[in-house]
Amino acid sequence: MNEFPSSSLSDSLNSFLQTQASIGMYDPSLLSGNLAIGLSEETCAVCGDQADGFHYGVRSCRGCNAFFRRAITHSMNFVCRRGGNCPVDKGARCACRACRLQKCRQVGMDSRAVQPKREGNGLMAGVKNEISEPSFSAATNEINSTVDMILPEVPPSPPPNASRLVRSVFDFAEQRKRRQAIMCTTLEQVLSPEQNTLRGIASPDDLSSIFRAQIVLCFEWANKQTEFKLLDRADKLRLLRSHIFEYILLDDVFHTVQLGVTDRLVLVNNTFLAPRSFYMGSDAQKFGADVIQSMAGEWVGNIIQHCVVPWFNMKVSEIEMLTVRLYAFYNQAERLMFPESQQIARDALNTAIKEYMSYYVDECGGTREDCSTRLRMLFEILPRIREGVNYLYQTVRNIPNFGLLDHWERHLNEKIFKM
C-alpha cells in the first residue's frame, strides 16, 4: 500500500527549487541569504537584529516594526504561558508573542503612533483575539492546556483574500472537531470538549479507530485543494494511498507537540505510544505478541527523538505543520502516471513554499535567510516520518481486520470515481 522515496529530503528540496528556477517558475533569490540590502550598524532595540530605521519612536528592525503595527492595529492581546520572561532576540523573537509585545512597549514603542490600516490581509485581520501561548511543561498524564488555550480563536471563515495556507488553518480547526466526532462512540463524547488528560497506552483498537477517522479526513482535506481536483483519477488514488499513513503520523507528532509532551507519542485520541511501554489490556492476547511489541518498539523512540523533540523546540505552528503536510503530499510527482499530473504536483509544491515564505516574512517579521533555514529544519523530520510509517504499516497489517484496509481502499476508489 505504501512506497517511500529513498533520496534525502534536503536533496529533494534543493533539486526541486533548482528545477523550478531553471524553467523560470521560481526565483532562487527568495531563499537566498545574500540579497543586496543596505546595511546599517544600528541594531533593533527589541530583538537585537539589524535595524532599518526609527519606527514608532524606537530604532527597530522591519520584523518588530511589522509585529508591533499588527498587534496594535488589530487590538491583539497575548498571554505568555511561561511566566512572562521569555527571551526576545533575533533567534527567538517569534517564539512568544506576549513577551515580544511587552518588550516593544518596554523599549518605548508608542502605540499612539500606529496608523490604523483600512484593510488587513493577515490571518487575524479585523479580529480581536486573546491568544494563549502553549504551555511547554514536562510530560505528565495531565495536559496543561486545553485546545482552546493552544489554538487562537478564529472567526468561522477566513478573510476573502486569504491565501490557501491561511485558509488551511481555519480548515484545520474544523477538521479537529470533525475528527473528534468521527472517533466518538456515544452522544456524550460528541458533545463533550476535547479531553485534557492522556488516556493511557494505545491499544491496537485505538490504531484502528484513528485510521478509520483519518482516512476520511485525509480525503476531505485533499479534495479541498484545487490542484488535487485537477489530477487524473488514478493519480489521485496513488497520492492518497501513499500519503495516508504520513498524514496520520504527522498529525500525531503535531498533536504531541501542541500538548507539550516530549517523552511519548500522543495519538490524536490522547492515547500514547512509548518505547517499551506495552499495552497490557485484557484483550492484548488476541492481537499477538508481535503487534504489542512493535507498538512499543524502537521506531517510536526515533519518532519522539527526531520529530517530536525538534518540533517542540522549534515551537512549530499550525501553518508550518500544514506546509509540511502539503510538501509531503505533493513531493511524489515521480509516482504519478501522467505528465500533466506530475506538473500539477510540482506547481503545488512551488505554491506551498512561496506562500510559507510570504507568511514568514510578512506575518512573522522574519528574513528570507531565516525562512530558508526554518523550511529546511521543518522538512528534516520527513525521512524519519517515512521510516516510522514503514514500521507502523508493518505493525497494523498484523492487527486482525485492521481498519478493513481492503474495504477502505474500495471506498476511496468509489469516492474518487464519483468526483
Q: Assign residue 186 a region: left if phi > 0, alpha if psi is -120 to 50, beta otherwise?
A: beta
Residues of each domain in the chain carrying CATH 3.30.50.10: 39-133
Instruction: Give the position of cell 525562512.
Output: 371
Distance CA 245, CA 299 (A): 15
Interacting residues of 128 by C-beta distance below 8 A, sequence separation 6+: 74, 75, 76
pLDDT of residue 353: 92
Instruction: Please state, in angstroms and as integers, the Cα–Cα distance from residue 401 to each residue in 205, 212, 242, following that order.
Output: 10, 12, 20
pLDDT of residue 61: 85
Contact in structure between 70 and 104 (CB atoms under 8 Å): no
pLDDT of residue 89: 83
Does domain 9-36+140-418 fall under CATH 1.10.565.10? My reply is yes
Beta strand pairing status for 58-59 and 271-273? Answer: unpaired
Q: Assign residue 60 a region: left if phi > 0, alpha if psi is -120 to 50, beta otherwise?
A: beta
pLDDT of residue 413: 57
pLDDT of residue 131: 35
User: Going residue by residue through the chain (419 aa), what tens digit of pLDDT does each one get?
Assistant: 444 343 444 454 555 455 444 444 444 444 443 333 333 347 888 988 888 777 888 888 888 888 888 888 878 778 887 778 888 887 766 778 888 999 999 998 888 877 654 333 333 333 333 333 333 333 333 333 333 333 334 445 666 667 777 778 888 888 787 777 777 665 655 555 555 578 899 999 999 889 888 988 999 999 989 999 999 988 998 899 889 999 999 999 999 999 999 999 999 999 999 999 999 988 898 888 999 999 999 999 999 999 999 999 999 999 999 999 999 999 988 889 899 999 999 999 999 999 999 888 887 778 888 999 999 999 999 999 999 999 998 888 888 766 555 555 565 555 554 55
Amino acid code (one letter) for 109? M
Does domain 39-133 fall under CATH 3.30.50.10? My reply is yes
Residues of each domain in the chain carrying CATH 1.10.565.10: 9-36+140-418
